[in-house]
Structures are given as structure tokens and as C-alpha cells.
Structure 1
Amino acid sequence: MILELADIRIAPGKQKEFEEAIERGARSVIARAEGCRGFKVNKGVESPERYVLQVFWDTLEDHTVKFRGGPLFAEWRAIVGPFFAQPPVVEHFTLVAKSGEN
């Protein structure tokens, strides 16, 4: 399993609208992508314009090739892209250790 971690910064004062958009986009677009096993969105406490999106993929290619190279990516960006203050920083991770359900 691959963890996609996207560090997202949005324009100040747009938190409520962005939170609605990112949840709608993740549930209606990302969740339909091949190899997607779920997602989480967290909001910064100290930096309320910062969000971390975690998407769990079967393979790296499910995200980088199939999703980003397919029509769902444009649909996703149309929903959340207008809120971005800068391009998100996206990296991929593999699991090393785990505790509990988180």
C-alpha cells in the first residue's frame, strides 16, 4: 500500500468552503479512482489555512499514472484547485510500523 501525502495551503478565510469542496471531491472523485483504498483530511491547528490530505493507494502507479493521467484528475482539480494559495506538495510513502486503527 502507498500513502499519498498532499500538503495543501489555501487562501485565508476560505476554510469552510474548502472543507466542503475537498470532502465532496474526495468522496465523489478520488474514491472512484482505481486502486484508491480511502482517504483522510486533516486541518492545521496552528496554521488554519494548512490541510494534509492522505490518500491510500494499492500502488504508486494507481495514483501517478492512472489517476493523475486520467480524466478524474481534471475533475478533482476543478473542485479543489480554485482554493489553493500555491501548488500542493505531494509525496508518497510506504508503511514501516503501525499501531491501532489510525
Structure 2
Amino acid sequence: MILEHADLRIDPARAADFEAAITRAASTVIALSKGFQGYKVNRSIESPGRYILTIYWDTLEDHMVGFRQSPAFAEWRAIVGPFFAQPPVVEHLELVSKS
């Protein structure tokens, strides 16, 4: 399993609208993608307007090719992209240890 970690920055004044939009986009667009295993969105306590989106994929290719190179990616960005104050920083992680 691959973990996609996206650091998202938005205008804090638009937080309620963003939270509704990202929940809708993740559950109706990303969730239909091959290899999708689940997601979560966390809001920073110390940094208003900062969110961490975590998506669980079967493989890196499921995210980078299957989703990012599909029409679903444009649909996703149309829903959440207008909220971004700067481009998201995205990294992929793999599990090393777990308790």
C-alpha cells in the first residue's frame, strides 16, 4: 500500500466551504479510482488554512497514472483547486514500521 500525503494551503476564511468541497470530491471522484483504499483529511490546529490530505492507494501507479492521468483528476481539481492558496505539496510514503 502507498500513502499519498498532500499538504494543502487555503484561505482560512473559506475553510467551511473547502471542507465540504474536499469531502465531496474525495468521496465522489477519487473514491471511484482503481486502487483507492481510503482517505482522511486533517486540519492543522496551529496553522489556520493548512490541511493534510492522506489517500491510501494499492500502488504508486494507481495514483500517478490511473488517477492523475485520467479525466477524474481534472474533475477533482475543478472542485478543490479554486481553494488552493498555493500549489499542494504531494509526497508518497510506504510503511516501514507499525505497532
Normalised to the residue count of structure 1, the TM-score between the two structures is 0.95
**C-alpha distance in 2 between matches for 1:97 and 1:24:** 32
In the TM superposition, residue 35 of structure 1 has moved relative to its aligned partner by: 0.2
In the TM superposition, residue 98 of structure 1 has moved relative to its aligned partner by: 1.7
Structure 1 counterpart of 2:7: 7
Cα RMSD between the aligned structures? 0.6
- What fraction of aligned residue pairs are identical, expressed as a percent? 65
Matched letter for residue 22 of structure 2: I
Structure 2 counterpart of 1:64: 64
Matched letter for residue 29 of structure 1: V
**C-alpha distance in 2 between matches for 1:80 and 1:67:** 15
Matched letter for residue 35 of structure 1: G
Structure 1 counterpart of 2:95: 95
**C-alpha distance in 2 between matches for 1:56 and 1:42:** 14
| SS across alignment from 1:78 | helix
Equivalent residue runs for 1:70-81 within 5 Å: 70-81=70-81
CA offsets, 1:28-71, max 9 Å, x none?
A: 00100100000010000011200000000000000001100001
**C-alpha distance in 2 between matches for 1:41 and 1:24:** 12
Structure 1 counterpart of 2:84: 84
Structure 2 counterpart of 1:55: 55
Q: Which one has a larger percent helix, Structure 1 or Structure 2?
A: 2
Normalised to the residue count of structure 2, the TM-score between the two structures is 0.98
